[in-house]
């Protein structure tokens, strides 16, 4: 390549990240190895499933579109234009391409060999840091304020803002009980084990501690070329020392380590060091698998699904994903966020499919999630709680239109039930005529609840004040909320009854700090973590946020966070409530997955001493916030 061309390539690259962080000497060295590649319009650079190239590409002129066979031919996942990088996948996963890249117009690309680029990475920490951050967020340019673009092209962005966060916290699922051999075993034995179990790597161990890794590539490199004999010991070809990680590691961290150390495998040990026993192995293949089954991928699957069996499989995948998250150090708000986004997408798809089956709706409507779903706190498969509001129509049409929506709701509820969400025992569902109403009818119902409160009515209606639109017309939900908050304004009598309901379950500790447990029935001697601990916090947050006339805050944690902002003098109480709520929610979720139940009842005898202490510490904020409620709403008259 002529020097003038090298200069031209270098001048172009230095305008764009991460090349702008290379020094002049390294940039010229890289530019001297660049191959100019021309791609005519509508020609492919690579196709989905093609073997990975030995180079990646920078767009010098034109535009390259990225898409997947699984999506429609018009649905471009990303468009790469001048200065954008594509085809970086082999840098961290020597696999096949997950997408196809087609020139949307005539393109000139700079093809950069991976081997040359990898050598430069070792001495350029700023470039390395840029790529690590890019991998963590799955964007080409994490420093950009907008139009960041996809980097790896293996996760399909659903258009939701939280997708980069979902990608970042995705857990790296490792292979448990990996095959291990001692360093004195022969290379031939290693080849036999790999072939028998259809695996590509082995851990070399001594006294159950990892000391090396051998891959099929190592065998081909040393034996197939005649350098070593198949009878030689594994110690002669193993890679050592081994890079180890703990069991609970996020995908972004794994990507970073593989790239930073230029390796293809990580050993999983009990504490992440070489000095504890082997737990598993992580490979580039595990990364690809994890990316194909992450929350963003599930969201895309939901968009395309049309069969009930597929919906059931996705719901099962979500449960598996959430259970795995709970076994890691992932924060509970994130677990709830993943559950909320995917559950809502599932329910939206169920309603869409039900509408197709039932026929075109005769009026505008909104499907409302209530209770834990409305609050975005549903992690386990609990019972259904929902309602439906349709626009006001003439009296002569009202009955027939309600009949249509009842039929639709029955179809939706039936599918929900197939997915594992059992019918509500109290029939608080849109398939019940009581909760499938026009906007005016709902306004009258809420007015009656608010104007004529009683202990009994509050107990039945309180979860309806946690509703959130799942599907349909936002305006209907908005108008209903405006009506509710207008009625609530300075209605101290209603808040007193709502406050009374919130303190009906006192902190669940009796004399001598003993847990208050169920004394009869099927759950005798068990602790009701929902009714005695979680519910008091949910109800306290509800009455306090409604009394402050704050709209749009349904989630318990978000409600307490807003209360801290409004009442900084009570920050300690509300912060304690947030911590307690998250700890209690995790106790319930873990128990639910373990017992395949709603997780409502805990067997205290099976809890460790430290878990019992952790549980007891959550009760003080309940006592504190209930004392605040009694004073604020003068509940002494009610109690």
Q: Which residue has the higher pLDDT, 436 or 22?
A: 436
C-alpha to C-alpha distance for 123 and 118, rounded to whole angstroms: 10
What is the rounded average pLDDT of the residues 585-606?
A: 90
Report whether pLDDT(1) > 80: no
Cα–Cα dist 190/212, whole Å: 13
| Calpha distance 452→384 (Å, rounded) | 27
Q: Which of the two residues, 455 and 213, has the higher pLDDT score?
A: 213
Residue range 113-120: mean pLDDT, rounded? 84
* Distance separating alpha carbons of residues 577 and 629, to the nearest angstrom: 13
Examine the pLDDT at 337 and tell me if it is beyond 70: yes
Provide the strand spans (E) within 199-344.
201-206, 209-215, 244-245, 265-269, 278-283
| Angle ∠(557,562,565) on CA atoms, nearest 5 | 135
CA distance 378 to 381: 8
Residue with the two structure tokens 């677990």: 335
Residue 3's SS3 state is helix
H/E run at residue 295: helix 295-304
The C-alpha angle 298, 304, 306, rounded to 5 degrees, equals: 110
With beta carbons less than 8 A apart as the criterion, state whether 516 and 604 touch: no
Write out the DSSP string of 432-482: SGGGEEEHHHHHHHHHHHHHS--HHHHHHHGGGGG-EEEEE-HHHHHHHHH
Task: Tell whether the model's pLDDT for residue 638 goes beyond 70.
Answer: no
Least confident range from 131-145, 313-327, 507-521, 616-630: namely 131-145
Strand partners, 96: 51
Residues 581-609, mean pLDDT to the nearest whole number = 90
- According to DSSP, the β-strands at 386-390 and 436-438 are parallel
Residue of 141 and 326 predicted with greater confidence: 326
| Rounded distance between C-alpha atoms, residue 515 and residue 114, angstroms | 62
Stronger pLDDT, 67 or 192, i.e. the higher one: 192
436 strand-pairing partners: 388
Phi and psi at residue 174, to the nearest 5°: -100, 165
Task: Name which of 102-111, 280-289, 290-299 the model is least confident about.
Answer: 290-299
What pLDDT score does 73 carry?
47
**Distance in angstroms (rounded) separating the CA atoms of residues 465 and 286:** 44
DSSP for residue 9: H
The string of pLDDT tens digits covering residues 55-88 is 989 999 888 988 776 544 445 667 788 888 888 7
Judge whether residue 173 has pLDDT over 80. no
The residue with greater pLDDT, 329 or 343, is 343
Q: Report how far apart, in Å, the C-alpha atoms of 492 and of each of 348, 459, 499, 547, 632 are.
A: 37, 17, 10, 9, 10
Average pLDDT over residues 492-499: 90
Q: Compare 519 and 36 and report the one with higher pLDDT.
A: 36
Average pLDDT value for the chain = 84
What six digits make up the tokens of 588? 């319930």
Is residue 141 over pLDDT 90?
A: no
The mean pLDDT of 277-300, rounded to a whole number, is 74
Task: Give 158's pLDDT tier (boundaries 50, 70, 90).
Answer: very low
Model confidence at 440: pLDDT above 50: yes
**Cα–Cα distance measured from residue 98 to residue 501, given in angstroms and rounded to the nearest whole number:** 54
Q: Give 459-482 pLDDT, tens digit per residue.
A: 888 889 999 999 999 999 999 999
Q: What is the pLDDT of residues 362-388, one digit of tens each?
A: 999 999 999 898 998 989 888 899 999
* Residues with Cβ within 8 Å of residue 215, at least 6 apart in sequence: 200, 201, 202, 239, 264, 265
Q: What is the DSSP letter of 145?
A: S
Owner of token pair 């468009």? 79
* Residue 181 backbone phi and psi in degrees, to 5: -135, 160
pLDDT at 353: 93
């Amino acid at each position: 390549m002529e020097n003038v061309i090298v200069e031209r390539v270098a001048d172009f690259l230095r305008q764009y990240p991460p090349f702008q962080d290379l020094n002049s000497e390294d940039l010229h060295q890289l530019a001297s190895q660049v191959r100019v590649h021309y791609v005519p319009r509508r020609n492919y650079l690579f196709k989905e499933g093609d073997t990975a190239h030995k180079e990646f590409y920078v767009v010098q002129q034109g535009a390259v579109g990225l898409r997947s066979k699984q999506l429609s031919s018009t649905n471009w996942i990303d468009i790469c234009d001048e200065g954008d990088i594509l085809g970086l996948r082999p840098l961290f996963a020597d696999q096949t391409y997950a997408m196809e890249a087609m020139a949307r117009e005539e393109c000139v690309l700079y093809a950069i060999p991976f081997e040359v680029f990898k050598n430069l990475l070792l001495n350029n920490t700023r470039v390395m840091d840029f790529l690590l951050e890019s991998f963590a967020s799955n964007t080409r340019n994490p420093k950009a304020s907008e139009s960041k673009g996809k980097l790896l092209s293996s996760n399909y962005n659903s258009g939701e803002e939280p997708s980069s966060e979902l990608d970042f916290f995705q857990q790296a699922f490792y292979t448990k009980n990996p095959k291990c051999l001692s360093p004195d075993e022969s290379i031939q034995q290693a080849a036999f084990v790999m072939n028998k179990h259809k695996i590509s790597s082995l851990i070399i161990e001594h006294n159950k501690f990892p000391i090396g890794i051998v891959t099929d590539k190592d065998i081909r490199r040393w034996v197939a070329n005649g350098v070593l004999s198949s009878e030689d010991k594994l110690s002669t070809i193993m890679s050592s020392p081994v890079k180890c990680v703990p069991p609970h590691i996020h995908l972004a961290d794994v990507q970073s380590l593989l790239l930073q150390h230029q390796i293809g495998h990580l050993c999983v040990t009990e504490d992440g060091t070489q000095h504890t026993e082997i737990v598993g192995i992580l490979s580039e293949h595990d990364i690809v698998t994890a990316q194909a089954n992450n929350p963003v991928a599930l969201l895309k699957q939901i968009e395309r699904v049309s069969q009930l069996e597929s919906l059931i499989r996705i719901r099962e995948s979500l449960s598996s994903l959430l259970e795995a998250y709970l076994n890691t150090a992932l924060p509970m708000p994130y677990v709830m966020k993943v559950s909320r986004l995917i559950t809502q997408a599932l329910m939206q798809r169920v309603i869409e499919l039900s509408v197709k089956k039932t026929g075109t709706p005769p009026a505008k409507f909104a499907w409302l999630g209530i209770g834990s779903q409305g609050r975005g706190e549903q992690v386990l498969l609990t019972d259904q709680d929902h309602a439906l509001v349709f626009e006001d129509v003439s009296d002569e049409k009202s009955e027939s239109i309600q009949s249509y929506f009842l039929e639709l709701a029955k179809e939706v509820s039936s599918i929900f039930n197939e997915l594992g969400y059992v019918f509500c025992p109290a029939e608080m569902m849109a398939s019940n005529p009581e909760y499938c109403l026009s906007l005016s009818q709902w306004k009258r119902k809420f007015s009656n609840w608010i104007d004529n409160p009683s202990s009994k009515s509050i107990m039945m209606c309180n979860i309806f004040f946690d509703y959130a639109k799942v599907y349909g017309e936002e305006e209907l939900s908005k108008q209903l909320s405006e009506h509710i908050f207008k009625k609530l304004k300075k209605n101290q009598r209603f808040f007193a009854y709502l406050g009374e309901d919130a303190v009906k379950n006192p902190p669940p500790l009796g004399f001598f700090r003993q847990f208050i447990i169920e004394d009869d029935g099927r759950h005798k001697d068990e602790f009701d973590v929902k009714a005695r601990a979680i519910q008091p916090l949910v109800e306290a947050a509800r009455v306090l946020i409604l009394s402050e006339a704050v709209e749009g805050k349904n989630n318990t944690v978000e409600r307490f966070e807003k209360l801290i902002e409004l009442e900084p003098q009570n920050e300690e109480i509300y912060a304690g409530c947030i911590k307690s709520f998250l700890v209690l929610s995790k106790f319930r979720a873990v128990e639910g997955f373990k017992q395949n139940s709603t997780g409502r009842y805990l067997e205290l005898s099976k809890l460790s001493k430290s878990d019992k202490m952790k549980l007891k510490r959550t009760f003080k904020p309940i006592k504190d916030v209930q004392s605040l409620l009694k004073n604020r709403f003068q509940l002494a008259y009610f109690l």
